[in-house]
Structure 1
Amino acid sequence: MTDRGAQAPARESSPSNSQDAQTKIAQRLEALQATRNGLSAAEAARRRAQYGPNALEDKTESKWRRLLNYFWGPLPFLIEAAAVISALRRDWPDFGVVAGLLLYNAVVGFWQDNKAANALAALKKNLAPRARVLRDGAWTSIAAAELVPGDIVSVAAGQIIPADLLLVDGDYLSCDQAALTGESLPVSKKIGDDAYAGAIAKQGAMTGVVTATGGRTFFGRTAKLVGAAGAVSHSQRAVTQVGDFLLLLAFLLALILVGAQLYREVIAPHDWSWSRIGAITQYVLVLLIASIPVALPAVMSVTMAIGAYTLSLQKAIVSRLNAIEELAGVDVLCSDKTGTLTMNRLTVQDAIPFGAFKGEDVLLFAALATQKSSEDAIDLAVMGALTAPKALDGYKETAFTPFDPVSKRTISTVVDSAGRTRHYAKGAPQAISALAKPDAETLKRYQDDVAARAAKGERALGVAMSEDGANWALVGLISLMDPPRPDAKATIAQANALGLNVKMVTGDDVAIGDQIAAQLGMGDHLLVASDIFKDGADVNAPPRSVVEAVERADGFGRVFPQHKYEIVKALQSVGHIVAMTGDGVNDAPALKQADCGIAVSGATDAARSAAALILTAPGLSTIINAIRVSRQIFERIESYIHYRIAMTLDIMIIVVASIVLFEFQPLTAIMIVALALLDDIPIMTIAYDNVPVAPAPVRWDMHRILIFASLMGLLSVAETFGLLLIGMRWAVDDQLQQMIPLDPGQLQTLLFLQLAVGGHLLLFCVRTKHALIAPPYPSGRLFWAIAATQVVAVLLCLYGVGVVALSGAAIVGVWLYCLVWLIVLDIMKVLYWRWVKRRGAELAEGHVGLAA
């Protein structure tokens, strides 16, 4: 839930007295070139032309443009090039498969991401549709969008504040601005105070002058931050880097292939016929199709979509698919206090009596100074603290004075069961002490108790009573606090065990945050946000001193909306992957900018639209469960990328090496497409594979991924090339031919089967960093999906469907060959990861020694 207690950054200090307030109003009216009599219609029209409508500007990207973005980039370019070449050669089967996969990738990605594109639309819903304004000396109702700076407007209970106002007349106004500033209770306004667009008037009525409209309001600045916020996901960068790597390799291999074939078929024989050029183009097409992991985006999308369903069972709804892998890499979690770490419910912590009164007297008299029907958070806490609520039945309320921002107290007149009239009061400690006028010694003790509660982050409430309504006695103090959630401390410990640094981000005072943090074991180094982030500083390039302070801090108090955004930017600037929780309009910019914005239970539409993950259950435990699931999903995707890069390298290098060295085309274009289908369709069940939860945040390390995948790929090349050499030797040996006949067409089929079998065995190898025989073992869905695919591959080769048929003996020989190589690959894999682990430990020791 929203952390409360902060004030908006634009708020000025409340005037200390009416003279100061009137001076401030006069200065602001002069600056606005306005008067208390309002504007004329002509002047309002001129200002509207100058300032524009009182509405948020929508600069969101069109849906068509967002859809077209999925066809732009290295990987889409490769797929599109293959589709174009296939169409030019009228190779329609290849064209249909490649173009279909391209469209599938775009549609899945667009459909998932489109749900997160409505943040500004949700923000707009909070603007008031109508406003009562003083124009040409008469009050009239107009559309809120027609307001301009300098207009005089009136607001009353139940209305939404239509623009930023300076209140100039009226008794008082109580505003609920929790969704804007994070304050837990309605804020009492009086003459000279500012009121903000989007806040809701709860009590009272006042008149104000419009000081800002549209995007210049506090609300509008928040909306602008939402529009400007956002970072490219790490998964998008990873896919781009994979595409760049394969594109570069394909380009180099294509140069070798084209150069060799041009010399062999065109330059040397001096034959420049189009048929020979077409043959070379066909070779390049085969290489191009081989170089494109066409199903990579689709497999990632399907894996994350299934993961999103799993997260929904954990009470976490994914609004952007890439949030899953972002959450897996999160190393800093910035968490709200109220409602996430605490119960979001004020409770009485203690009752401190004074004089001859007892603790139960303090609670009873405070309850008698409360209306039973009140929904105020403090009133609910007082009524809920009564051990015997039926004791109130013996009292009859005859008069009640509600709370107002001047007196800061409530007073009730009550007749008890004996017919005696008594008066009871509760309110701000200073208001109650001024009413009761205790002696100096009692007053000092009273003030010391109030200060001690404040130091502990507790709110103090004074209580007094009177028999005649004129002479009051100090009854005591009540301390209130929003207590931690029962599971919060254990959840924080679990987060720390998972390698997360949890930072408290609260709008309340640092003293309150310190108290809760101490109870939860989060550290006591909380900073006042405004002490770190200075007005006018460049948000996109925070100074090193600011970044270091943010990294060291255990949390932040008195946080304003832009502070959350700046905290995220500062952490991201030094490589942290940041998750930020929130629920209000004020949280939306930070939620969108964070690598994983999390809208907690009960969040506003604006927060949910800006967030990547939406929780439907309160508390931090839901986030920790989601992180565990996300890390498992990340491991599955990383395993698939290892496999896919290695297999693509295997196919590309074999195609080029065979053509250049032996003038033998090892695979037809349709074989490569069939391999893509046989390999990737069943491997989508990797989304269900059994994987452990990583003990620390996981993120894309493309250097390590490419090294390991290339190692596995080169070993796979050796495996396939070895079979090619065996097959070529077999084809010219009469004795071997008598045992198992093998012609060039059957050799192509032999290589096709080896790549299909060896590819899936390679996946079983790379899916874990441990030995193949060690747990966790493949899930049933993955194992049987691959087994079924292998049956299909064997039947295709046995009966010659789309390929030249092989004998049963040749098929068995391929399987035995691949199983032997599986052992070799697994040994090399284990040795590599042991080296990585040892190298990481040595580097860590070196850093520790350097720091010492």
Structure 2
Amino acid sequence: MEQTAKRDNPHIDPSLLETDPKTGLGQDEVKRRTEKFGENRLKDDQISALKKLLSFFWGPIPWMIEVAAILSAVVQHWSDFAIIMVMLVLNAGVGFWQEFKADNAIAALKQRLAPDARVLRDGAWSDLPARELVPGDIIRIKLGDIIPADAKLLSGDYLRVDQSALTGESLAIDKKIGDEVFSGAIARQGQMTAMVTATGMATYLGRTASLVKGAGKQSHFQRAVLRIGNFLILITLGLIALIMTVALHRGDPLMETLLFALILAVAAIPVALPAVLSVTLAVGAEKLARMKAIVSRLVSIEELAGMDILCSDKTGTLTQNHLTVGTPVLIDAKDECDLIRTAALASEADSHDPIDSAVFAILGNRAKLDGYDITSFRQFDPVRKRAEAEVTHDGQTIMVAKGAPQAVLALLCEDEISDIESVAAYRAVMDAIKTMAEHGYRALGVARTDKDGNWQFLGLLPLFDPPREDAASTIAELRNKGVDIRMITGDHEAIGREVAGQLGLGQNILPADAVFDRNNHALDQVMIEQADGFARVFPEHKYAIVRQFQDRGHIVGMTGDGVNDAPALKQADIGIAVSNATDAARAAADLVLTAPGISVITSAIEESRRIFERMGSYATFRISETIRVLLFMTISILVFDFYPVTAVMIVLLALLNDFPIMMIAYDNAEVAEHPVRWNMGNTLTMASLLGAIGVTSSFALLWVSETWLHLPPEEVQTLVFLKLLVAGHLTIYLTRHKGFFWQKPYPSMKLFLATEITQIIGTLAAVYGWFVPAIGWYHALVVWGYALCWFVVAGCINVWVYRLLTHRHHSHHSHLARVEGSLHRHR
């Protein structure tokens, strides 16, 4: 519990500790130190909003969209140009908004800085803005104050400080002269004078802010989109360059060839890829919001689907963050009611002290205190370590006390400096305290005087921070979904093990100093990997733990509620702030829970895995479509010297494809049993397979149309157009899940209607000659039957290849698991 007080502050300059505590600093010295150390506030290194916004128009995906926009303008397709520009601005806007995450976290951290401080300067006390404090200032800290800077306590009776939001310790800490207090903590009891030792970014809070600012990484989603986009761009540009080279070599008209190449590039380059995936994520975010989980960074949804380790803060996340009294241990008390009533008489009902609140909570009805009049009360202080009260009852005056067991036992001695071990109750009390400590409980001693004025030790009240009611069931569900839980706490490991036992977690809870050196470098990565949790951690430890798991290939989630959790929340692939989180934690998180507890995380994981399946469906479809159309066009032009579709048909295909593609975001999708992540090898394999099948079937139709049916070139082009449209839309059904197309989950009504209506529109255009040469109903129905036959064949091949890839993947991971297991046994 006391590790914070003992921790060294590397920012203290010994020369600054020579301030006269009776007069404080002079104005000249204050000015000199302000120039040297700056104002007492967190740094704001923001670049201009315009510069930040413009940065999102530079990069592979923006270049991809910008090239398409330029090509559209060159061929004067202004409607396409307008749509593409909207997509470009939309993607830049989404990225611009996400970039504010670190800045928002810093702004929230600033809110914890005290607005004013009581300062001694030139021998006079005055209230000054906290930002004007400098190292060496003498300040006064009293009940309810937010501590304005890191400071060393100089004088005063005692101070009890709540620093749970900074360090994660569940109990308020008693401070004494010489101890250090941290900026942003709250004084709960007492009053003391202190000397400022660090301000601004040099404070404990400032160092936390620095970690938040430097935390974060590119998401797996962003890397996957870049790889898909780059893959398609390279294929498109390569094939178009080949078409133009051969066409120009054959003597084809330059402008006709250039125009066709430009139109083909506009249709083939996946300008909608980021937008469609963002829409899919946005639709999912809307559903998560209805589940009381607010998404602040869209790409974090994909990370949530692949999360395989969840690092969870204990205090306030797995536990309720308020003290509770456990089963009392009776020594001389008549019964539990007698013990609890006496403890309540030695407590203040409306105190900020969490121990007093816990005692009155277990007391229940305050009518139990009727007839007991408190004539005097002496608050708890860290020197005496107990609270005492004088009580009148039935005409008699008695004394009651509660506090540290040893301090209460001392009352039983005739002389408090006598050997406490001589007290009759000593052995029973010490045995009970030892048992409580082994279970992570803090013992509270209670005593009362009898009618003769002799003190009696009534018993002990165990104090603990109870787990949330839904925590154990949530952890079990998460494990069933393949997510491993690691508990992180600022409390002692004994407390961590007790809570872990109640929640069904493992007992291998390691103190942070056992796995990290002074520079927060891992001492043993295997030890970290095998730990069930970590105790006595500071914000930099939480941050380092997350980084260690990420470096070992895990997709890491982090839940928390305090300022001390903010760096780890920001660094994690998916940071989750619970419902009672501080503003700093909410600003640093990707997912903010608005309902109590963490049970909503399981629902969010299920929804995120559905969203992941939809994104994978679109990516596979888009790659296969590009391969199918481009490769078919290229071979037709190069080998047969024939343009199988016209430029108008290419634009019409692109427009009719957009509607069902957008509806993929609303499709029904299966939920994976285990964490999922992008497997680009499998995605490209499946997309290439479907694309190759499409090319083969298109060439077969082209050959039949010209060789057997001897149709005019214009009608052949319409047949090919209709086949590309119908077969392309049917491919959506093949890519939407891994089983046969007739198996559940069935397509959503929105996707089904959008797909079939656009197919019907394209069919009517081919039959009646809207924008393309007419072919009549007979040939149109033949194309439909032909496409459906290939659809069944492609579906069977698709399932067979996917199962083959899955089998190889599982075999590979089983082999790795066996190797790792043997290595661990060897160690």
1:749 Cα shift?
A: 2.7
Q: Which residue of 2 aligns with 1:720?
A: 698
8 Å CA contact 2:102, 2:213 repeated in 1: no
> 2:432 matched to 1:449?
yes
8 Å CA contact 2:101, 2:588 repeated in 1: no
1:420 Cα shift?
A: 0.9
> 2:89 matched to 1:135?
no
1:234 Cα shift?
A: 0.8
Letter in 1 for 2:298: L
> 2:175 matched to 1:197?
no
C-alpha distance in 1, partners of 2:513/2:473?
31
Q: Normalising by structure 1, report the TM-score.
A: 0.91
Q: Which residue of 2 aligns with 1:827?
A: 796
- Residues 1:90 and 1:750: Cα distance change in structure 2 (over 3 Å): same
The superposition leaves residues 187-236 of structure 1 with CA deviations (integer Å, 9 ceiling, x where unpaired) of 22222111111122233322221111111100000011111111111110
8 Å CA contact 1:12, 1:194 repeated in 2: no
Q: Which residue of 1 aligns with 2:382?
A: 405
Q: Which residue of 1 aligns with 2:498?
A: 515
Q: Is the partner of 2:395 in helix, strand or coil? A: coil
Q: Which residue of 2 aligns with 1:376?
A: 353
Stretch of structure 1 that moved more, 374-383 or 223-232: 374-383
The superposition leaves residues 249-283 of structure 1 with CA deviations (integer Å, 9 ceiling, x where unpaired) of 223213322321231127xxxxxxxxx44333223
Q: Which residue of 2 aligns with 1:618?
A: 596
Letter in 1 for 2:283: I
C-alpha distance in 1, partners of 2:272/2:110?
39
> 2:448 matched to 1:462?
no
The superposition leaves residues 104-131 of structure 1 with CA deviations (integer Å, 9 ceiling, x where unpaired) of 3333554566577511111112212222
The superposition leaves residues 90-116 of structure 1 with CA deviations (integer Å, 9 ceiling, x where unpaired) of 343443343333333333554566577
Q: Is the partner of 2:157 in helix, strand or coil? A: strand
The partner residue of 1:316 within 278, 289, 293 is 293
1:468 Cα shift?
A: 7.2
C-alpha distance in 2, partners of 1:708/1:175?
60
Letter in 2 for 1:421: T
8 Å CA contact 2:16, 2:135 repeated in 1: no
Letter in 2 for 1:319: S
C-alpha distance in 1, partners of 2:2/2:243?
66
- Residues 1:414 and 1:296: Cα distance change in structure 2 (over 3 Å): same
C-alpha distance in 2, partners of 1:59/1:774?
54
8 Å CA contact 1:238, 1:702 repeated in 2: yes
> 2:516 matched to 1:533?
yes
8 Å CA contact 1:164, 1:210 repeated in 2: yes
Q: Which residue of 2 aligns with 1:691?
A: 669
The partner residue of 2:404 within 428, 431, 439 is 428
- Residues 1:441 and 1:137: Cα distance change in structure 2 (over 3 Å): closer
- Residues 1:499 and 1:363: Cα distance change in structure 2 (over 3 Å): same
The partner residue of 1:303 within 266, 276, 280 is 280
The superposition leaves residues 659-700 of structure 1 with CA deviations (integer Å, 9 ceiling, x where unpaired) of 222232333444333323322322322223222211100001
8 Å CA contact 2:333, 2:339 repeated in 1: no
Q: Normalising by structure 2, report the TM-score.
A: 0.93
> 2:93 matched to 1:107?
yes
The partner residue of 2:540 within 558, 562, 585 is 562
Q: Which residue of 2 aligns with 1:173?
A: 159
Letter in 2 for 1:222: T
Letter in 2 for 1:146: E
8 Å CA contact 2:16, 2:197 repeated in 1: no
C-alpha distance in 2, partners of 1:629/1:536?
39
1:470 Cα shift?
A: 6.4
C-alpha distance in 2, partners of 1:534/1:625?
38
1:441 Cα shift?
A: 5.0
Letter in 2 for 1:462: G
C-alpha distance in 2, partners of 1:227/1:567?
17
Q: Which residue of 2 aligns with 1:503?
A: 486
The superposition leaves residues 352-380 of structure 1 with CA deviations (integer Å, 9 ceiling, x where unpaired) of 12146433322221122122333432222
Q: Is the partner of 2:127 in helix, strand or coil? A: strand
8 Å CA contact 1:6, 1:181 repeated in 2: no
Q: Which residue of 2 aligns with 1:843?
A: 812
8 Å CA contact 1:6, 1:559 repeated in 2: no
1:782 Cα shift?
A: 1.5
Number of residue-to-residue matches in the alignment: 812
Q: Which residue of 2 aligns with 1:672?
A: 650
8 Å CA contact 1:352, 1:362 repeated in 2: no
Q: Which residue of 2 aligns with 1:815?
A: 784
Q: Which residue of 1 aligns with 2:39?
A: 53
Q: Which residue of 2 aligns with 1:524?
A: 507
Q: Which residue of 2 aligns with 1:231?
A: 217
> 2:682 matched to 1:704?
yes
Q: Which residue of 2 aligns with 1:35?
A: 20
- Residues 1:668 and 1:173: Cα distance change in structure 2 (over 3 Å): farther
C-alpha distance in 2, partners of 1:387/1:38?
48
- Residues 1:69 and 1:28: Cα distance change in structure 2 (over 3 Å): closer
Q: Which residue of 2 aligns with 1:762?
A: 731
The partner residue of 1:162 within 148, 168, 173 is 148
- Residues 1:725 and 1:249: Cα distance change in structure 2 (over 3 Å): same
1:464 Cα shift?
A: 0.6
Q: Is the partner of 1:134 in helix, strand or coil? A: strand
- Residues 1:121 and 1:716: Cα distance change in structure 2 (over 3 Å): same
8 Å CA contact 2:118, 2:139 repeated in 1: yes
8 Å CA contact 2:75, 2:262 repeated in 1: no
- Residues 1:548 and 1:6: Cα distance change in structure 2 (over 3 Å): farther
> 2:210 matched to 1:217?
no
C-alpha distance in 2, partners of 1:805/1:360?
93
- Residues 1:511 and 1:764: Cα distance change in structure 2 (over 3 Å): same
Q: Which residue of 2 aligns with 1:273?
A: none
> 2:313 matched to 1:336?
yes
8 Å CA contact 2:103, 2:213 repeated in 1: no
Stretch of structure 1 that moved more, 395-404 or 276-285: 276-285
C-alpha distance in 2, partners of 1:723/1:206?
89
C-alpha distance in 2, partners of 1:93/1:465?
87
> 2:228 matched to 1:242?
yes
C-alpha distance in 2, partners of 1:429/1:32?
37
8 Å CA contact 2:268, 2:630 repeated in 1: yes
The superposition leaves residues 139-158 of structure 1 with CA deviations (integer Å, 9 ceiling, x where unpaired) of 33333222221222223223
- Residues 1:464 and 1:814: Cα distance change in structure 2 (over 3 Å): same
Q: Which runs of 5+ in 1 are unaligned?
A: 14-23, 267-275, 731-735
Q: Is the partner of 2:728 in helix, strand or coil? A: helix
The superposition leaves residues 310-352 of structure 1 with CA deviations (integer Å, 9 ceiling, x where unpaired) of 1112111101111111100000001122333223332222111
> 2:714 matched to 1:745?
yes
C-alpha distance in 1, partners of 2:246/2:593?
59
1:59 Cα shift?
A: 2.0
C-alpha distance in 2, partners of 1:407/1:119?
41
Q: How does 1:584-623 map to 2 (within 5 A)?
A: 584-623=562-601
1:52 Cα shift?
A: 1.6
- Residues 1:130 and 1:297: Cα distance change in structure 2 (over 3 Å): same
Letter in 2 for 1:261: A
1:450 Cα shift?
A: 0.6
Letter in 1 for 2:752: F
8 Å CA contact 2:57, 2:92 repeated in 1: yes
Stretch of structure 1 that moved more, 461-470 or 553-562: 461-470
- Residues 1:341 and 1:426: Cα distance change in structure 2 (over 3 Å): same
- Residues 1:360 and 1:398: Cα distance change in structure 2 (over 3 Å): same
Q: Which residue of 2 aligns with 1:733?
A: none
Q: Which residue of 2 aligns with 1:799?
A: 768
1:786 Cα shift?
A: 1.4
Q: Is the partner of 1:167 in helix, strand or coil? A: strand
8 Å CA contact 1:422, 1:469 repeated in 2: no
Q: Which residue of 1 aligns with 2:456?
A: 473
1:476 Cα shift?
A: 0.9
- Residues 1:313 and 1:406: Cα distance change in structure 2 (over 3 Å): same
- Percent of pairs with identical residues: 49
